[in-house]
Amino acid sequence: MKPVTTDRIRNVALVGHGGAGKTTLAEAMLLESGTIKRAGSVEDGTSVCDFDPEEQRRGISVSLAVAPLAFDDHKVNLIDTPGYADFVGDVAAGLRVADLAIFVVSAVEGVEVGTETAWRLAEAENIPRAVFITKLDRERASFDRTLAALKSAFGNGIAPLELPIGQENDFRGVIDLLEDRARTYSDGTATESPIPEELASTEHEVHEALVEGIVVGDDALMERYLADEEVDVGELAHALASGIASADVFPVLCGSGSEHVGIDRLLRFIIDEGPAPTDQGGPPAALVFKTVADPYVGRVNLFKVLAGPVRVDDHLTNVRTGADARLHQITTIRGKEQEPVSEVPVGDLAAVAKLTDTTTGDLLTAPGSTATAEPLTTPVPVLATAIRATSKADDDKLATALHRLDDEDPSLQVRRNDRTHQVVLRGMGETHLSLAIARLHDKFGVEVDEEPVKVEYRETVTGTAEAEGKHKKQSGGHGQFGVATIRLEPGPPGTGLEFVDAVVGGAIPRPFIPAVEKGIREAMEHGGVRGFPVVDVKVTLLDGKHHSVDSNEMSFKMAGSLAFRSAMADAHPVVLEPISELVVTVPDEFQGDVMGDLNAKRGRIQGSASLGRGDAEIVAHVPTSELQRYAIDLPPPRSMTHGRGTFTVSHDGYEQVPAHLVDRLSADD
């Protein structure tokens, strides 16, 4: 592919619900441009974009893929994004470097939850948007129904630029509403044809509505239009491009990826009306938007050039770490294929391997540059599982493998919980987590077992008790002797341990008092009556005894521990459970169902409010143990909100576990 200038680059993200036909459309566009000789499919492993073994095994896209093509002296970087909700992190990354988002919508299923999710992401970034209604050749396909659903979901900015000729088995072409021309297709070959008589009236009405929608954004054109002066197609196309770039107009095109209908028109639209990248100016700068952990070549970083150009062997600086990043070899990527290049112009996408400690979201700039970039949007993981290495050999490799997976996917989080001694893997859903575990095996040869994530229960006391701890040991020569008397009582929430030294008269020598406190702290950490760590208590050291020869720090450490354990049993111990603040966003019609479900989970509703556009927000405090599987109860493909619910969760504090539930708890679970 020959080099092009920035004004001839188009970065286009294909987004939408899983199964809508994004990858099929990408294959059709690659075929139309002559980039490939045959459209591939994920099922037989020939797809350019779905090349990952897990994608072929599961039959769905699980990660972002870049596929550049050349068309009419332009370079179009197709960014094929996953549609399944678990991989929304890659959708956000793809949108971050796209200059146009094309929403692929099935004419059979219509607007689905994945479409709505991606639209919200694009709207938040103010990214220009267009829609391609596909699968018009399928049974039960309806352009009119889908268009109505688009307008209902996304407002009056939705503007049809094409109409289909026929539907289902009779679908054979499209009408260009801007140019008043029809185009029919046979075996992928397009032919200019008259507008069918049965569609002439409808085409005229929609054409007039489209023209009015375009000129309303341009005062000069509006005046001429109202004065019945002729506005030519070129002027309309220029005004349309301005409306698209400002994210005020969202054109709708149509066709079929599998039958290769309307694909040439879609590419022409991208070239003619799609926005080119912008140059932020200044010395070279590049944003890393995707990292791939390759078991053979190591880390591969995909980047977009924000200012430049960027050349081979350039020395850039990682703004996050301050480290030097030398670009030894730069390549363009098409699926799994890489082609070396010597220079990448502003706005283009490329990849570089083996940059130390460079990961997704990093900005690489010329040394001394003050260039900045908005951070990538990373979704917060909502589901967790605990993993442990199957064998000692796996354990030796696990930390490195997890670190590389973490680099590859920022929406995947790995944390070791030192209190529960578990390695906790957090992701966006069951499929996301199962994919991560599969990649541990396939990419890095690490086998792991899963287990439930332990809830971090605590213990405290509600009463007061005094106890004596005596440690006495005689084994020839110097022995061990220490006695400590303490009072245990509730302490302020969040204090952990408040230790008070009230010993008088030298009953315990001063050098040994810190040992008593240390013994108490270790006993608290080891666990109370039910084995959970103890928090929020006040311990007063009242008295004690020592021996001039046999007393030492270990003796009083043991005495403090024994005294605490004895007092704990008599001070009315209780178990505390972590409480989470849950913020749920759902369509208004599901608000009652969600609130009822939260009440059943022992949640307390703190408030609810309308967010407009048919959505409501619910805030509740819920025991963390009740939310372990909430990501499965609420979001897609789960049934409670038909996949249209989202939530965030954060730790809020601790509260006493109801008495009737305490006996079910065990520190070993």
| Alpha-carbon separation of residue 233 from 176, 179, 244, 249 (angstroms) | 11, 6, 16, 17
Category of 374 on φ-ψ map: left (φ > 0), alpha (ψ -120 to 50) or beta: beta
- Residue 85, C-beta contacts closer than 8 angstroms, at least 6 positions apart: 18, 113, 114, 117, 428, 429, 635, 636, 637, 643
Q: What is the DSSP letter of 131?
A: E
Tell me: the pLDDT tens digits for 478-494? Answer: 789 999 999 999 999 88
What number is the average pLDDT over the span 561-571?
97
Cβ atoms of 135 and 105 closer than 8 Å: no
Tell me: the pLDDT tens digits for 248-270? Answer: 999 999 999 999 999 999 999 99
In this structure, the answer to whether residues 125 and 243 fall within a common structural domain is yes
Model pLDDT, residue 337: 86
Query: Is the pLDDT at 639 greater than 60, yes or no?
Result: no
Residue 175's identity, in one-letter code, is I
Tell me: the pLDDT tens digits for 366-411? Answer: 999 988 898 888 888 999 999 999 999 999 999 999 988 888 888 9
For residues 304 and 279, give the distance between their C-alpha atoms in angstroms, rounded to a whole number: 11
Helix residue ranges, H only, 490-552: 513-526
Q: Total structural domains in the chain?
A: 5
Mean pLDDT value across the chain? 91
Write down which residue in 244, 273, 302 finishes a domain.
Answer: 273
Query: Is the pLDDT at 1 greater than 80, yes or no?
Result: no
Relative to beta strand 162-165, strand 615-623 is: unpaired
Tell me: the pLDDT tens digits for 292-313? Answer: 877 667 789 999 999 989 999 9
In the block, residue with structure tokens 């001429």? 224
- Residue 10, C-beta contacts closer than 8 angstroms, at least 6 positions apart: 74, 75, 76, 77, 99, 100, 270, 271, 274, 275, 276
What number is the average pLDDT over the span 133-161?
95
Model pLDDT, residue 473: 87
Q: Which CATH number do you get for residue 583?
A: 3.30.70.240
In this structure, the answer to whether residues 50 and 184 fall within a common structural domain is yes
Residue 669 covered by a domain = no
**Residue 249, CA atoms < 13 Å, CB-side half-sphere:** 29
For residues 218 and 211, give the distance between their C-alpha atoms in angstroms, rounded to a whole number: 11
In this structure, the answer to whether residues 412 and 492 fall within a common structural domain is no
State whether residue 219 is helix, strand or coil.
helix
Cβ atoms of 137 and 109 closer than 8 Å: no
In this structure, the answer to whether residues 89 and 123 fall within a common structural domain is yes
Model pLDDT, residue 477: 67
In this structure, the answer to whether residues 609 and 580 fall within a common structural domain is yes
Cβ atoms of 269 and 130 closer than 8 Å: yes
In this structure, the answer to whether residues 524 and 610 fall within a common structural domain is no
Residue 377 covered by a domain = no
State whether residue 535 is helix, strand or coil.
coil
Residue 487 covered by a domain = yes
What percent helix, strand, coil does the chain show, rounded to 5? Answer: 30, 35, 35
Model pLDDT, residue 637: 39
Helix residue ranges, H only, 366-498: 392-408, 430-444
In this structure, the answer to whether residues 552 and 601 fall within a common structural domain is no
Q: At what angle do helices 143-154 and 113-125 cross, to 10 degrees?
A: 50
The candidate with the shortest Cα–Cα distance to 255, out of 160, 343, 158, 152, is 160
Model pLDDT, residue 154: 94
Q: How far apart, in Å, do the first and last CA atoms of the chain sit? A: 59
Q: Which CATH number do you get for residue 472?
A: 3.30.230.10
State whether residue 647 is helix, strand or coil.
strand
476 vs 606: which has the higher pLDDT = 606
The candidate with the shortest Cα–Cα distance to 359, out of 428, 287, 427, 304, is 287
Encoding tokens for residue 617? 């927000």
Query: Is the pLDDT at 52 greater than 80, yes or no?
Result: no
Residue 475 covered by a domain = yes
- Residue 58, C-beta contacts closer than 8 angstroms, at least 6 positions apart: 431, 435
- pLDDT tier at 3, thresholds 50, 70, 90: confident
| Alpha-carbon separation of residue 505 from 467, 511, 513, 516, 542 (angstroms) | 20, 14, 13, 17, 11
Residue 325 covered by a domain = yes
Cβ atoms of 351 and 341 closer than 8 Å: no
In this structure, the answer to whether residues 266 and 296 fall within a common structural domain is no
Model pLDDT, residue 249: 94
Q: What are phi and psi of 473, to 5 degrees?
A: -145, 125
Model pLDDT, residue 54: 77
**In this prediction, what percent of the chain has a pLDDT beyond 70?**
97
Cβ atoms of 164 and 183 closer than 8 Å: no
In this structure, the answer to whether residues 547 and 617 fall within a common structural domain is no
Query: Is the pLDDT at 635 greater than 70, yes or no?
Result: no
Tell me: the pLDDT tens digits for 167-208? Answer: 899 999 999 999 889 999 998 789 998 999 999 999 999 988
Q: Which CATH number do you get for residue 418?
A: 3.30.70.870
For residues 369 and 285, give the distance between their C-alpha atoms in angstroms, rounded to a whole number: 9
Q: Residues 65-69: contacts with CB within 8 Å, 24+ apart? A: 65/335, 66/302, 66/333, 66/334, 66/335, 66/349, 67/26, 67/30, 67/35, 67/334, 67/335, 68/1, 68/35, 68/332, 68/334, 68/349, 69/29, 69/30, 69/33, 69/35
Strand blocks (E) in 346-398: 349-353, 363-365, 383-389
- pLDDT tier at 636, thresholds 50, 70, 90: very low
Encoding tokens for residue 602? 């022992």
Write down which residue in 337, 365, 393 finishes a domain.
Answer: 365
Beta bridge partners of 45: none
- pLDDT tier at 142, thresholds 50, 70, 90: very high
In this structure, the answer to whether residues 584 and 545 fall within a common structural domain is no
Judge if pTM exceeds 0.85: yes
407 vs 155: which has the higher pLDDT = 155
Q: What is the DSSP letter of 508?
A: S
In this structure, the answer to whether residues 394 and 354 fall within a common structural domain is no
Model pLDDT, residue 241: 94
The candidate with the shortest Cα–Cα distance to 318, out of 357, 270, 352, is 357
In which domain, by residue range, is 293 found?
A: 285-365
Q: Angle CA(464)–CA(470)–CA(473) in degrees, nearest 5?
A: 160
Residue 374 covered by a domain = no
Residue 169 covered by a domain = yes
Write down which residue in 248, 273, 298 finishes a domain.
Answer: 273
Model pLDDT, residue 669: 56
Beta carbons within 10 angstroms of residue 43's beta carbon = 10
Q: Which CATH number do you get for residue 40?
A: 3.40.50.300
> Which stretch of DSSP H or E encloses residue 573?
strand 573-587
Cβ atoms of 127 and 218 closer than 8 Å: no
- pLDDT tier at 43, thresholds 50, 70, 90: low
For residues 593 and 545, give the distance between their C-alpha atoms in angstroms, rounded to a whole number: 63
Model pLDDT, residue 278: 92
Beta bridge partners of 192: 183
Residue 558 covered by a domain = yes
For residues 280 and 71, give the distance between their C-alpha atoms in angstroms, rounded to a whole number: 26
Model pLDDT, residue 45: 66
Query: Is the pLDDT at 327 greater than 80, yes or no?
Result: yes
Tell me: the pLDDT tens digits for 6-35? Answer: 999 999 999 999 999 999 999 999 999 999
In this structure, the answer to whether residues 57 and 89 fall within a common structural domain is yes
